[in-house]
Amino acid sequence: MNTLEQFSSTQKSLIEEELISAIKSLETPAKLKESMLYSVKAGGKRIRPLLLLAVIKTFGQDTKKGLKTAAALEMIHTYSLIHDDLPSMDDDDLRRGLPTNHKVFGEAVAILSGDALLTKSFELVVDSPIADQSKVKIIAMLANAAGAEGMVGGQMADIEGENASLSLEQLESVHRRKTGRLLEFAAAAGGVISGLNEDELKKLRMYAEHIGLAFQIRDDILDVEGNEEEIGKPVGSDESRQKSTYPSILGMEKAKEKLAFHLTQARKILRDLHQEPALLVDLADLIAKRKN
Amino acid sequence: MNTLEQFSSTQKSLIEEELISAIKSLETPAKLKESMLYSVKAGGKRIRPLLLLAVIKTFGQDTKKGLKTAAALEMIHTYSLIHDDLPSMDDDDLRRGLPTNHKVFGEAVAILSGDALLTKSFELVVDSPIADQSKVKIIAMLANAAGAEGMVGGQMADIEGENASLSLEQLESVHRRKTGRLLEFAAAAGGVISGLNEDELKKLRMYAEHIGLAFQIRDDILDVEGNEEEIGKPVGSDESRQKSTYPSILGMEKAKEKLAFHLTQARKILRDLHQEPALLVDLADLIAKRKN
C-alpha cells in the first residue's frame, strides 16, 4: 500500500462512523432517517473528506479535529447527489450501481433527506473540537462553496448548459462551481483547522482547483472509456444527453493532455507548500487515474 | 397604530431590504437569482423575523444586531414553502395569491432556489455584527430548528400523516416541529443577541411554543372560516385532502377555546419575563387574530 492507501483505509471508516452516528442519533421520523442513511452508506470514494483530513495530517495536526467537518462536507456532497438525481433534474435511476434515493423512497422523501443532510452539516461543524473563530470561518466557507455562488449555482448552470453547445470556458466555469468549490473548501478547511496562514490557504486552494478540474476531466473520460460495472452507471450517458464534455470539446487526446497538465500543476504547488506532500500527491494521482 | 404596528412597519422594510440585497449581490446564474427573489418578495407577514427583532427591542438592544439573523430565518421559512409546494409534496399552485415558485420557474429551479436560500441563511448569520460565540450558538440553534429534528422532520411527519387520522398529540407533535421550532428559534435567537441568561431563554421558548400552537390552530380555523382572497389560497383545502386539523379533531368551538388558552399562557409567561412586554403581547394577539 502507498501512503494514501494506508491513510484512507483508516480514515474512511472513521468518516463513515461519524456520518452514520450523526444520522442515527437524530430524533426524526424513521423513514427520513432511513433515507438519509441509505444515501450516506451508498459508498463512494469519500475524496472530499479524505482531502480535508489529508491536509490536516500533512501539517502534523490531529485528524480528529477535522472529522466532524469532514463528515459535514460528505453530507453536503451526498445531499447534492440526491437532489441532482431527481426526475426534474438529471433524472438518474442509478447511482454507484444502486437505485437512486427517490427510486427507493419517493421524490418527497428524497427532497427532504437532501434538505436534512444539508442542514445537519452546519450543526456538525459547530460540534467540532475547534475554536469558535475557526468554526465561524469554516461555516462561512462551507455555505459559500455549497450555495448559489458555488455548487448550487454550478448545478443551475449545468442544467442550463444541457442540450447547449458550451465553450471550454463555459464548461470550466460550470465545473469550477459544481465540483471545484467543494474540493477547494476541503483543502482550505483542513488548512484552517491546521492553523495555516492566508498565503498557505491560497496555495491549498490552487492545488484543489487543479485537482478539481482533473477530477472532472477524468469523469468525462470515464463516461466514454469507462467500464459500466466499475463506474456504476451506463457508459455514454453524456453523449446521449448531448452534454458538452472535455472530450466532446477538445477531442480525447487533448482532454488527456489537459488532465496531465492539471496534475503537474497540482504537484508543483505542493512542492512549494510543504517538504513532504506525499499524501496530497497521492490524492491528486488517485483522482487523475481513478477507474470510477 | 398600536406598538407592534409602528414597530412592524419600520422593521418589515429593513428585513426585506436585507433579504433582497443579500440575494441581489450573489454571483450566480440570473434565473436562480430571479427565482430566489420571486419567492422572497412574495410577501407574507414576516412574523418570524419580526418576533426575533421584537425580542431584541423589548430587551433594549439595537435591532440592527439581529437584522441579518432575522433575514436568515425568513430565508429558511421561504425555502421551506418553495419545497413544500412542489408537486411531489403538497402540490400547491398558489401561495399568497401568486403562482408557486415551481409553477413559474419549473421544478428543478424551485428545488435549487430552496437549497440556495437554506445555504445562504448560514452565511447571513456569520455576517452578523455579533460575537463569534453568539454566532456559533445561533447557527447550532438554527440548524437544529430547521433540520431533521425540527422543521424538515415536521414536514416528513406531515406528509406521513396526510390521509391518516391523527390524534391530538400526533397533530401537535407535527406542528411543534413544522412551525413551532422556527418560532422558538426566533425568540431564543433574539434572546441570545440580547445577552439573556438560560432561564430567560427558556421562558422565551415557552412563550414561542404557545404562540406557535396558536398560530397553527388559527391556520386551521382560517382554512375553514377564512376569506379566500385574504388567505390567498382556496378555503377548505385541508378537508379536501382529508388532513387532520384542530377543528376536525376537536370541533370548531373547542379549537377556538384552545387558541384562547395558548394566548393566555403566552401572556402569562411574558408578564413573568419582562415589565413592559407590550410588543410581544401584541405579536401574540396578531398571530391569534390574523385574517390570513
Q: Does B27 touch chain A (CB under 8 A)?
A: yes
Mutate to test the interface with B, among A112, A128, A182 (most CBs of B within 10 A): A112
- Answer whether B149 sits within 8 Å of A119, measured CB to CB: no
pLDDT > 70 fraction of chain A, expressed in percent and rounded = 99
Mean pLDDT of A206-227: 93
Q: Does B241 touch chain A (CB under 8 A)?
A: no
Mean pLDDT of A88-103: 93
Query: Which of A115-129, A196-210, A233-247 is predicted with the least confidence, judged by mean pLDDT?
Result: A233-247
B26, closest residue in chain A (CA to CA): A149
Cβ(A96)–Cβ(A232) below 8 Å = yes
pLDDT digits (tens, 9 = 90+) for B203-246: 999 999 999 999 999 999 999 988 777 776 677 777 777 788 99
* CB neighbours of residue B74 within 10 Å: 27
Sort out which chain A residues have CB atoms less than 8 A from B112's CB and list them.
Answer: 83, 152, 155-156, 159
Residue A236 confidence (pLDDT): 79
Sort out which chain B residues have CB atoms less than 8 A from A152's CB and list them.
Answer: 28, 32, 112, 115-116, 119
With a cut of 90, say whether residue A183 has pLDDT above it.
yes
Sort out which chain A residues have CB atoms less than 8 A from B141's CB and list them.
Answer: none
Residue A1 confidence (pLDDT): 56
Sort out which chain B residues have CB atoms less than 8 A from A40's CB and list them.
Answer: none
Q: Does A252 touch chain B (CB under 8 A)?
A: no
Mean pLDDT of A235-263: 90
Q: What is the DSSP letter of A63?
A: G
Distance CA A33, CA A26 (A): 8
Q: Does A22 touch chain B (CB under 8 A)?
A: no
pLDDT > 90 fraction of chain A, expressed in percent and rounded = 84
- For B88-96, which contacts have Cβ atoms below 8 Å and span 24 or more sequence positions? B88/A106, B88/A107, B88/A108, B88/A111, B89/A108, B89/A111, B89/B155, B89/B159, B92/B233, B94/B232, B94/B233, B94/B234, B95/B42, B95/B232, B95/B233, B96/B42, B96/B43, B96/B44, B96/B232, B96/B233
Mutate to test the interface with B, among A25, A109, A113, A115 (most CBs of B within 10 A): A115
Distance from CA of A184 to the nearest CA of B (A): 17
Burial B235-245 (b: 16+ CB within 10 A, else e): beebeeeebbb
Number of C-alpha atoms within 13 angstroms, CB side, residue A227? 5
Distance from CA of A56 to the nearest CA of B (A): 22
- Tell which residue, B261, B98, B121, B101, has the closest CA to residue B182: B121
Mean pLDDT of A109-138: 98
Span A3-289: which CATH code?
1.10.600.10
Distance from CA of A172 to the nearest CA of B (A): 15
Q: Does A145 touch chain B (CB under 8 A)?
A: no
Q: Does A259 touch chain B (CB under 8 A)?
A: no
Mean pLDDT of B267-271: 96
Q: Which one-letter amino acid corresponds to residue A110?
A: A
SS3 of residue A288 by DSSP:
helix
Mean pLDDT of A275-287: 93
pLDDT > 70 fraction of chain B, expressed in percent and rounded = 99
Mean pLDDT of B246-267: 96
Environment class of residue A251 by beta-carbon count within 10 Å: exposed (0-12), middle (13-18) or buried (19+)?
exposed
Residue A64 confidence (pLDDT): 98
Query: Which of A158-162, A184-188, A284-288 is predicted with the least confidence, judged by mean pLDDT?
Result: A158-162
How high does pLDDT run on average in chain A?
A: 94
- Tell which residue, B18, B95, B80, B85, has the closest CA to residue B49: B18
Distance from CA of B274 to the nearest CA of A (A): 31
Mutate to test the interface with B, among A23, A24, A28 (most CBs of B within 10 A): A28
Could you write out the DSSP letters of every residue in chain B? --HHHHHHHHHHHHHHHHHHHHHHT--S-HHHHHHHHHHHHT----HHHHHHHHHHHHTT--GGGGHHHHHHHHHHHHHHHHHHTSTTTT--SEETTEE-HHHHH-HHHHHHHHHHHHHHHHHHHHTSSS-HHHHHHHHHHHHHHHSTTTHHHHHHHHHHHTTS---HHHHHHHHIIIIIHHHHHHHHHHHHHTT--HHHHHHHHHHHHHHHHHHHHHHHHHHHHS-HHHHTS-TTHHHHTT---HHHHH-HHHHHHHHHHHHHHHHHHHHHH-S--HHHHHHHHHHHH---
Q: Which one-letter amino acid corresponds to residue B137?
A: K
Alpha helices in A67-197 (DSSP H): 67-84, 101-105, 107-126, 132-146, 151-161, 168-175, 181-193
Distance from CA of B212 to the nearest CA of A (A): 19
Q: Does B37 touch chain A (CB under 8 A)?
A: no
Residue B1 confidence (pLDDT): 57
Of B108, B116, B160, the CB nearest to A159: B108
With a cut of 70, say whether residue B14 has pLDDT above it.
yes
Environment class of residue B207 by beta-carbon count within 10 Å: exposed (0-12), middle (13-18) or buried (19+)?
buried
With a cut of 60, say whether residue B4 has pLDDT above it.
yes
pLDDT higher for B265 or A97?
Answer: B265
- Answer whether B140 sits within 8 Å of A126, measured CB to CB: yes
- Answer whether B83 sits within 8 Å of A148, measured CB to CB: no
Mutate to test the interface with A, among B86, B92, B107, B123 (most CBs of A within 10 A): B123
Residue B97 confidence (pLDDT): 87
- Answer whether A156 sits within 8 Å of B112, measured CB to CB: yes
Place A227 in a pLDDT band, splitting at 50, 70 and 90.
confident
With a cut of 90, say whether residue A180 has pLDDT above it.
yes
Sort out which chain B residues have CB atoms less than 8 A from A153's CB and list them.
Answer: 26-29, 32, 116
pLDDT digits (tens, 9 = 90+) for B146-189: 999 999 999 999 998 877 888 999 999 999 999 999 999 999 99
pLDDT digits (tens, 9 = 90+) for A70-81: 999 999 999 999
With a cut of 80, say whether residue B248 has pLDDT above it.
yes
Distance CA A149, CA A163 (A): 23
Compute CA A123 distance to the chain's CA centroid, rounded to the nearest angstrom. 19
How high does pLDDT run on average in chain B?
A: 94
pLDDT digits (tens, 9 = 90+) for A1-27: 577 899 999 999 999 999 999 999 999
pLDDT higher for B291 or B146?
Answer: B146
pLDDT digits (tens, 9 = 90+) for B60-118: 999 999 999 999 999 999 999 999 999 999 999 999 889 999 999 999 999 999 999 99
Provide the ipTM.
0.95
